[in-house]
Chain A
């Protein structure tokens, strides 16, 4: 029955091209990429994602070894297992990319994000905001009589939860870093 439906659908489709690949389950993977820190390297990585139609959920980049001119890019990307494999292979092909490590399948790993959250409020709401911040172990790094800036680190879900709670209390502005991730144990990438 289902097969007949697809066939009918195909016939109505005027495209001269066949149906696209079958749908597969979408997975989210965290990739750690070691690159030469040089002009344009980030553009190459991002251009690869946009040019080939891959999705980036989060991207974090900073120099990690000044002497060796190395930067580490952490990308959280979504796709079918086949697409994730292609993303890794395509990244590995870029000349300035030294190593691509898929933390999601290679090892247990820790991933953290940092957020700065500005809340503008007075009266009881200030007390409630401070109380929630305490529960989340967020620090107030700036305070005026009408506002706080909280600094919070943790997994993305924790930060999302914090932001949701701050919304009715006067959430005004959020700055997030994106995910930084590293494998647990003694293994390192780049060797």
Chain B
């Protein structure tokens, strides 16, 4: 017997009736209500109604990129330097596919970005229409979440939910794909307060206090402790950096950080060991290897940090605080995993440390610091300077010198490669949200558009993109945006005419067979800058360097600085891929590089 009870459709939970406006206007209103003041984008057929609505309002400023990838990186730079959600607007098809690299970059580095993509009208979806692409299908794997809006009544809810998802928990990119007919349709607008989420997305942020107490007890018992912090501290906001500084000073323990976490703890502090990882400092990597308690706050044991995982810090007990439960025990098995927002976890740790009156084991700690100072004495960042050729490290040291004399808020972005690692090693990072680099995805071409996003958010700041001559060519078209918006972004190109990191690996690991890593026919960067309407400067010898940097610091327009550096310089120290922290190589002498190890 079957029993078919016809269950009446439950009434839709009521949302306050709202006045009807067009889909495009809903998008703009939702952006305003979400606190967006700037959106980076590029128009096209399938987003024209939204561009039309943008034209008719004054609250949101649109920044025209020259390529959708540039728009996304600019939104990332904006987000990282302000702590707000970055916003981008691109068209369907090629607009969306060009945005994919930027979205993936934001996913890997946990940057909150909302990207609105136009889509062909709903009745054309699936017909291989002009500029149609399966945007939600393509971006499913490179976004935190994505939406295709097929009903005008859902649009404002989806807009608000997208921002909620992008900024909550572990931040990330969210795509909203809006067909053109939905942008034209009339529908209700609900404010964030009145809007209804279609998901119960509420990631855990509060730490389990019992686990915090256990963690603090482990920390207090440590003889050779080390803090290992990451981008999670930056993402959690300035309060996390403040709490981290307090906890590190309270304990007196040494601290290192990943590439993404630079700036959370001041690099000028005595307790700072420098960056950890493949091109991290000798003292940071050896401390990680030899420690007995590792306190990981908001870092994810990336392979560029851990090196060979089965030899990673073999004798330590590990505490891992991460907002993403899947990061815990993913790459490295830890003894104590705590799912929490890093601000909350750090503040709870400070509270427990104080309440229980813990004291660090000073006798053990002094011995540990003695050992660390012994490692420091190796002076792993030393390089052989030259009177005739500019060493890239020297160029950055001079840049550092002039940065120290400048009173403005300073922001550094980078492209990807040797120059990025040298920048991480040689530039000062004393504040969070001042350092934007593509860490996880390693996107060449990130730095210039990111710098544009930063400069838009901080018109009075000093924004410098430390670049390589190969990377900068990947998004050089954004020079045009920088000129249009009168952004005095400085692009400090360490020009060695090689894809330096590729060349370094070929030299050290591939029998010096330099396959396709030399760039012939490079443009004249000075003329190139001038052709765009910017300023071009060049330094060929160490004598010219200071004057060029001095001039660069005060140029009123976007400036390309072509620093002609040593073509053969390699980035050290280095942990070869698949090696442990205590197998790092210091020598810039290729002959001494033990090839049998790899």
Chain A interfacial positions (CB closer than 8 Å to B) = 11, 15-19, 21-22, 36, 38-40, 43-44, 47, 51, 66-67, 82, 85-86, 89-90, 92-96, 98
Interface centre among B146, B579, B598 (most CB of A within 10 A): B598
B140 touches A40 (CB 8 A): yes
A89 touches B326 (CB 8 A): yes
A16 touches B509 (CB 8 A): yes
B199 touches A36 (CB 8 A): yes
24 A–B contact pairs at CB < 8 A? A11-B596, A15-B578, A16-B505, A16-B509, A16-B577, A18-B308, A18-B578, A19-B310, A21-B309, A22-B310, A36-B198, A40-B136, A40-B146, A43-B140, A44-B140, A47-B140, A67-B9, A82-B329, A89-B330, A92-B326, A94-B145, A95-B145, A95-B201, A96-B199
B200 touches A98 (CB 8 A): yes
Measured CA separation A16–B577 after assembly (Å): 6
For the complex with contacts A47-B141, A93-B326, 20 further pairs of A-B residues with Cβ separation under 8 Å are A11-B596, A15-B578, A16-B578, A17-B577, A17-B578, A18-B308, A18-B578, A18-B579, A19-B310, A38-B198, A40-B146, A40-B148, A43-B137, A47-B140, A82-B329, A85-B329, A86-B329, A89-B326, A90-B326, A95-B145
B310 touches A21 (CB 8 A): yes
Measured CA separation A66–B165 after assembly (Å): 25
Q: How far is the CB of A64 from chain B (nearest CB, A)?
A: 13
Measured CA separation A145–B9 after assembly (Å): 46
B523 in contact (CB, < 8 A):
no
B141, B145, B598: the one contacting A16 at CB < 8 Å is B598
B325 in contact (CB, < 8 A):
yes
B324 in contact (CB, < 8 A):
yes
Measured CA separation A82–B140 after assembly (Å): 25
Q: How far is the CB of B117 from chain A (nearest CB, A)?
A: 15
User: Which residues of B, 460-500, contact A by the 8 Å Cβ criterion?
Assistant: none
Q: How far is the CB of B76 from chain A (nearest CB, A)?
A: 21
- A16-B576, A51-B141, A92-B325 known; A39-B148 Cβ under 8 A: yes
B7 contacts which chain A residues (CB < 8 A)?
Answer: 66-67
B200 contacts which chain A residues (CB < 8 A)?
Answer: 98
B144 in contact (CB, < 8 A):
yes
B126 in contact (CB, < 8 A):
no
Name the residue on A nearest B199 (C-beta). Answer: A95
B17 in contact (CB, < 8 A):
no
Name the residue on A nearest B144 (C-beta). Answer: A95
B357 in contact (CB, < 8 A):
no
A89 touches B325 (CB 8 A): yes
A93 touches B324 (CB 8 A): yes
Measured CA separation A41–B509 after assembly (Å): 44
Q: How far is the CB of A46 from chain B (nearest CB, A)?
A: 10
B324 contacts which chain A residues (CB < 8 A)?
Answer: 93
Measured CA separation A51–B139 after assembly (Å): 13
Measured CA separation A47–B146 after assembly (Å): 14
B140 contacts which chain A residues (CB < 8 A)?
Answer: 40, 43-44, 47
A18 contacts which chain B residues (CB < 8 A)?
Answer: 308-310, 577-579
Measured CA separation A15–B598 after assembly (Å): 7
B144 contacts which chain A residues (CB < 8 A)?
Answer: 95
Name the residue on A nearest B579 (C-beta). Answer: A18
Which are the 3 A-B pairs with shortest beta-carbon distances? A18-B578, A89-B326, A95-B145
Measured CA separation A85–B505 after assembly (Å): 35
Q: How far is the CB of B163 from chain A (nearest CB, A)?
A: 13
Measured CA separation A38–B330 after assembly (Å): 29
